Amino acid sequence: MKTIYLDNAATTRVDDDVLKEMIPYFTEKYGNASSMHFKGQEAKFAMEKARKIIAKEIGAKPEEIIFTSGGTEANNLTLKGLFFWNKENETGRNHIITTRIEHDCILNTCKWLERQGAKITYLDVDAEGFINLNELEDSITDKTIVVSVIHGNNEIGVIQDLESIGKICRAKNVLFHTDACQSFTKTFLDVRRQNLDFVTLNAHKIHGPKGVGALYIREGIKITPTMHGGGHERKIRSGTENVSGIVGFGKAVEIAKKKDVEKMIRLRDKIIDGILRIPNTRLNGSREKRLCNNVNISFNNIEGESIGGYLETFGICTSTGSACASHSLETSHVLKAIGLLPVQANSTLRISISKYTTEEEVNYLLEKLVPVVEKLRKMSPIK
């Protein structure tokens, strides 16, 4: 059976060019980037090339990029690193502002930090998923360390207005972090224009390898490391660098194209319009400020899991939420935050496309989805 992979917000297929670029760094150029000899230096050279590519993509300097094992680590490092730096230096600041629609790796880090003495404000969002800028401004106090707001949401695809948030943070003299794992290379991201002090990135959402990410840290800002060791990555993140992964990450960024984004927007809109023709459906998140690859629809009165299960019998992979949370049976915190009732939230399907998604696949999805929904609705005890 043919596979139609529509779960690209969970992860993406590694691009052939990315893989080709990576392979020599396993087999021939396998040096440790910290070694002084030529094998080490060839690895270091490749790693620095990737750092330059990634920095340029977000308007940063290469020295402002720290490689990590992925988005989860970069998010942990930002919040824990800042909290403990402020604690060690007795600045009197212990307050972090974030939102109710963050990825679990931000929310669970915040929960853990609360047990270490941090005060966390969780900003509400409106029905489309946007934070309220006045509420943000009012939440900032003289104890606030950082504001952390997800750029493109992994479940509902809403894109926050980083420029306006950045202006508020700058005016109030607090740091600004964004988790850009889902938005990187898909929408405008510029650390200077948007006044960003920290940005979390990863490779596996953009056809790069899993297990590699990066954290942009604006020059001059200090954090306490969470990983202690040999002092790699400017003493901020010890541990032998994942050179092949970093090389793949750089290549994935280098080959990301605007025309792929345009294609995804067209196919995304075709899916949205096609599904919304089914009565009693609603699109979650903003229609206009939306990731190019995200569709998130509630079908009401039928289980999203059942729809996904039926689609799978046709070889179509979708998701009911974020991959990291789908093992839990709890209602999505993001859908709850935009005001969905549990019964609506549980009827939700996330379809996330990539540059590899074709028009034929979209047609096939729509052809199969309509009868699946009709069938499940007939079977549903809730009308």
Ligand X SMILES: Cc1ncc(COP(=O)(O)O)c(C=O)c1O
Minimum CB–partner distance for residue 327 and ligand X (Å): 13
Q: Is 177 in the site for ligand X (CB under 6 A)?
A: no
How many CA atoms within 13 Å lie on the side-chain side of 184? 34
User: Of the listed pieces 16-24, 41-49, 70-78, 244-252, which binds ligand X according to CB under 6 A?
Assistant: 70-78
Minimum CB–partner distance for residue 146 and ligand X (Å): 16
Among residues 6, 58, 96, 105, the one that binds ligand X under rule CB under 6 A: 105
Among residues 98, 154, 319, 348, the one that binds ligand X under rule CB under 6 A: 154
Minimum CB–partner distance for residue 245 and ligand X (Å): 11
Q: Is 181 in the site for ligand X (CB under 6 A)?
A: yes
Q: Is 171 in the site for ligand X (CB under 6 A)?
A: no
Minimum CB–partner distance for residue 267 and ligand X (Å): 20
Are the beta carbons of 212 and 67 closer than 8 angstroms? yes
Q: Is 355 in the site for ligand X (CB under 6 A)?
A: no
Q: Which of 9, 4, 10, 15 is nearest to 360 (CA)?
A: 4
Nearer to ligand X, 72 or 347 (CB): 72
Q: Is 157 in the site for ligand X (CB under 6 A)?
A: no
Q: Is 179 in the site for ligand X (CB under 6 A)?
A: yes
Minimum CB–partner distance for residue 197 and ligand X (Å): 18
**CB proximity list for 281: less than 8 A, separation 6 or greater:** 275, 297, 298, 299, 300
**Total residues binding ligand X (CB under 6 A):** 13
Token output for 108? 């669970």
Q: Is 346 in the site for ligand X (CB under 6 A)?
A: no
Minimum CB–partner distance for residue 150 and ligand X (Å): 6
Q: Is 103 in the site for ligand X (CB under 6 A)?
A: yes
Nearer to ligand X, 108 or 331 (CB): 108
Minimum CB–partner distance for residue 16 and ligand X (Å): 21
Of 105, 292, 317, 324, which residue is the catalytic one? 324
**In 272-282, which positions are buried (b, 16+ CB within 10 angstroms) versus exposed (e)?**
bebbeeeeebe
Nearer to ligand X, 140 or 236 (CB): 236
Among residues 185, 194, 202, 296, the one that binds ligand X under rule CB under 6 A: 202
Query: CA-to-CA distance for 162 and 175, rounded, in angstroms?
Result: 13
Minimum CB–partner distance for residue 293 and ligand X (Å): 12
Among residues 129, 213, 248, 321, the one that binds ligand X under rule CB under 6 A: 213
User: Of the listed pieces 20-28, 59-67, 179-187, 375-383, which binds ligand X according to CB under 6 A?
Assistant: 179-187
Contact code string over 288-327 relative to ligand X, x by CB under 6 A: ------------------------------------x---
Q: Is 70 in the site for ligand X (CB under 6 A)?
A: yes
Q: What is the 3-state secondary structure (H, E, C) of the chain?
A: CCCEECECCCCCCCCHHHHHHHCHHHHCCCCCCCCCCHHHHHHHHHHHHHHHHHHHHCCCCHHHEEEECCHHHHHHHHHHHHHHHHHHCCCCCCEEEEECCCCHHHHHHHHHHHHCCCEEEEECECCCCCECHHHHHHHCCCCEEEEECCCECCCCCEECCHHHHHHHHHHCCCEEEEECCCCCCCCCCCCCCCCCCEEEEECCCCCCCCCCEEEEECCCCCCCCCCCCCCCCCCCCCCCCCHHHHHHHHHHHHHCCHHHHHHHHHHHHHHHHHHHCCCCCEECCCCCCECCCEEEEECCCCCHHHHHHHHHHCCEECECCCCCCCCCCCCCHHHHHCCCCHHHHCCEEEEECCCCCCHHHHHHHHHHHHHHHHHHHHHCCCC
- Residue 324 a catalytic site member: yes
Positions in the binding site for ligand X (CB under 6 A) = 70-72, 103, 105, 150, 154, 179, 181-182, 202, 213, 324
Question: Residues with catalytic annotation?
Answer: 324
